[in-house]
Amino acid sequence: MWTKGIILIFTIWVLFTVCPSLQLNDRDFQKRLSNLRDDVKKMFYHAYDGYMKYAYPLDELKPVSCKGADTWGSYSLTLIDALDTLLVLGNVTEYTKVVQLLVDNRKNFDSNINVSVFETNIRIIGGLLSAHLLAHKSGMDLEPGWPCNGPLLRLAEDAARRLLPAFDTNTGMPYGTVNLRNGVPHGETTITCTAGVGTFIVEFGALSRLTGDPIFEKVALRALNALWHHKSSIGLFGNHLNTQNGQWVATDAGIGAAVDSYYEYLVKGAILLQKPELMKMFLEGKKAVDKYLRHEDWYFWASMTRGSVTMPVFQNLEAFWPGLLTLIGDVNSAKRSILNYHKVMKQYGFVPEMYDVYNSEVRSQREGYPLRPEFVESLVYLYRATKDSIYITMGEDVLRAIEHSAKTSCGYASIRDVKDHSLEDRMESFFLAETTKYLYLLFDPDNFLLNVGQTGKVHKTPAGSCVIDAGYVFNTEAHPIDISALNCCTGISLETVGGYVWNSLIDISDPKKKNSLKGVKLSTMIKNRQASEKKKKVHDSDKANVESTSSHSDLIGLHDTDRCTKIDIFIENSQKICKKRNEKRREKVNKKSEKLTEGTVNPSKENIPKIQTQSNLVDILKEHDSMYSKFVRFSQSLLLEPKRFDSQKLLKKVEEDERFKLNETWFNDFAILKCEQPPFIQKIMVGNQVYNEKYP
C-alpha cells in the first residue's frame, strides 16, 4: 500500500517538474533548428541569386570576380544541379520558373563538346531525374502518363543516350569522356578511374525503369560486374584501369578520390532496384576494406595486391563513408570515424582535401576545401539514426565556417588553403546541389525527403495505380530518386494488351512467327512492332521521294526546300543517280565497241583503242568535274547528321556477354531484406518469443 503511494507521488513530481523542463528544452531545440534552416536558406539564395545574375547560362559562378565560366559541358550545370534543392527548400515558384526555362531553351543535348561521362551522369542526368520525380510537389501541370513521361525525363534520356557510346568497349567498362554529338572522341584514352566505371546504376537503373528501355540498366550492371571480376586476389580495387583490357594502371586501393562512389552505388543500387547481389558485392568488398584499409577508424590507402599501407592519409571525399555505414546499420563504426573527421575540421576550420594522419597536418599541395558536402552528408544519416544533437552541433560548425570565411559579394568561394582561409575564384555546382541541401536536411528532420518508407501517396497512371513519395535514395550528387515511383512504369494497360492481341492475330496463326516470338516480353514485342511500322513508313516515304526524282536538278531542288532530309535518303538518291550514269556509260562503251567491230571479225592492233594520254585524262577529269560540280557543291553545303549510335546493337552485345556472371546464389541470399521486421511486442504476442538479454 505504501509502495503504491510512493510511486504515485513520484509520478506526480515527474509530471510537474521534469516534463515541463523537457518540453522547454525541446521548444528551444526546435527554435534552434528553425533558425539554422533560415540561415541555410539565406546561404543558398545568396549563392543561387549570384549565379543567376552573373553566370547563367554558363556552368558555374566565379564568386570572387562575379563572372561566369563553362567547366564541365556548357549546359547551365549549376542551374540543373540546384533545381531539386529549390523544392527541398519549399520554393515552388522558382522551381516551376526554372523548369519552364529549361524546357523552352533546351530540347536536347546535341552539342559538339567533349564531356565527362561520370560528371554528366551524376549532375545532369541525376539532377533532371530528381527534378522530374519531384514535379508533383510543385503543383504544376504534369504530362499524361507521369512519372513515365515528361519534359525533364526526356532530357535526361537524351543525355543518357549520348553517353551510351562510352560503354561500347571490350569489357563493358566505359570510357571517361564522350562527345555529346559524335560519341567517343578519336584517340580518347582508355584509362578510367574506378568510380568512373561503377557510378551509373542509380541513374541508369532509374531511367530504365521509367522509360521501359533496359539498355541503361544493363550497361551499368555490366560495368559493375566487369569491375568486380577485376578486383585483386585479396578483394581490393585500384583507382585507375584500362577499360579495354581491364589492366590496372594505378594500384593504390582506398575509399576516397577515384574510388568512393563505386562502393556507395553498390549499396544504393541494391536498395533502389531491389538487387541483393549488389549488396553482396558491397559486403564482400567491405571485408577487404576493413581488413586492409581500416586503421583505428581511419581509412588509409594500400596496395591492392599486398594490402600494405602506401599512403597513411585521410581525404575529404572519404567523409561519405560514415553515412554509408549508417545506411547499412553499422552505426558504431560510423560514430567513431566521424569523430576523427570532426577533429580535423576543428583543427583548421574546414576538412582539407588531404590530411596526413601520422603527422597530424594537412598534406602539401592538397590544402584546399572546395565546399564539399561529404562530411555533412554523413551527419544527416547519423542524426537520423541516433537523434544525438552532437551531429547538429557539428553541422552548425560547418555552416558557421563557410559563412565566416567563404562568403563573397555574389556567392561562396572555394577555400584555397585551410591554413590561412585564402580563397579560390570558383563555386562548384555541388555547393548548391549537395552542401546546402544536406545542411538543410540535417536541420529539418521532418522533411519529406527523409521519409523512411512508412507512408506514401497513391498515384493513378494509364496502367493503373501506384505508390509515390514513399522513400528516397540519394545519388552521389545528393539528387533524391523516388524508390516507389520507379514501379509506376512497369505495368501495361488493358487497352495496350487488347490492341496488341488484335494486331497479332495473323502473326499467331503463323507457326514460324509464333515460334520466333516465344519468350519475348509483351512490352518488347509492342515496341518492336511500333518501331517496325515507323520504319516502314519512313521507307515508303523515301521510296516515293526517289521515284519522284527524275533528274539531278530535281534532286537538288528537293533538298533545297527540305534541309532536314535524312542522310539515308540522300545516300539512296545519290546511289540511284550514280547507277543511271553508269548505265549510260556502259551504253556508250557498247556503241563504240560495235563501231570497232563493224566489218572485221579479228580486229588488228591498229583497231584497239590506245591508252589514254595525260592530256586525254585531264579532259576526262574536267568533264567529270563538270558533271558532278553541282552535286559536290550541294553535298558540301548539306548539313549532314552525324552517324547515329546503334544502341540496340550495344544491348545485344551486352546481353550475349557471359564473361562477368555473378554467383547465382547471391540473388537469393538477401531475400529476407524485403521482409519487414515485426515489432518486438508483436513477436511476444504472436510468436511467443522471449526477450534475450544478450540481444544488443
Any idea which residues carry the catalytic annotation?
A: 119, 260, 353, 374
Q: What ranges in 292-435 are assigned the alpha helix state H? A: 321-327, 331-348, 374-386, 390-405, 430
Hey, is 406 helix, strand or coil? Answer: coil
Report the largest interatomic distance among the alpha carbons of the chain, rounded to a whole angstrom. Answer: 145
CA distances from 14 to 6, 25, 26, 44 (A): 12, 15, 16, 43
Q: Which long-range contacts (CB under 8 A, 24 or more apart) does 325-332 make?
A: 326/378, 326/381, 326/382, 326/384, 326/385, 327/267, 327/268, 327/271, 327/381, 328/267, 328/282, 331/382, 331/385, 331/386
Distance CA 72, CA 177 (A): 11
- Amino acid present at 499: G
- Nearest Cα residue to 314 out of 356, 347, 252, 258: 356
* Nearest residue to 204 via CA among 278, 274, 272: 272
Cell reading at 495: 487497352
Using CA atoms, how far residue 62 sits from 51, 122, 124, 412, 430, in Å, is 8, 22, 20, 9, 14
Q: Are 314 and 354 spatial neighbours (Cβ–Cβ below 8 Å)?
A: yes
C-alpha grid cell, residue 89: 527548400
Written as nine digits, the cell of 272 is 533502389
Output 280-288 pairs: Cβ under 8 A, ≥24 positions apart: 280/663, 280/666, 280/669, 280/670, 281/224, 281/228, 281/662, 281/666, 282/328, 284/235, 285/231, 285/235, 285/237, 287/235, 288/234, 288/235, 288/236
How many whole angstroms separate alpha carbon 45 and alpha carbon 586?
Answer: 75
CA atoms within 13 A of residue 49's CA, in its CB half-sphere: 9
Tell me the three cell numbers of residue 237. Answer: 580495387
Is 565 annotated to bind ligand? no
Q: H or E segment at 307? A: none
DSSP 8-state symbol, 120: I
Q: In whole angstroms, give the CA distance from residue 292 to residue 306.
A: 9
Q: Are 343 and 394 in contact (CB under 8 A)?
A: no
DSSP 231: S
Helical spans, DSSP H, in 184-243: 194-198, 201-211, 215-229
From residue 246, alpha-carbon distances to 173, 567, 580 in Å are 8, 37, 51
CA distance linking residue 128 with residue 83, whole number of Å? 8
Backbone region of residue 677 per phi and psi (left: phi > 0; alpha: psi in -120 to 50; beta: other values): beta
Report yes or no: 686 and 291 within 8 Å, Cβ to Cβ: no
Upstream peptide bond of 147 is cis (omega within 30 degrees of 0):
yes
- Binding-site residue numbers are 476
- Binding-site residue numbers for Ca(2+) are 476
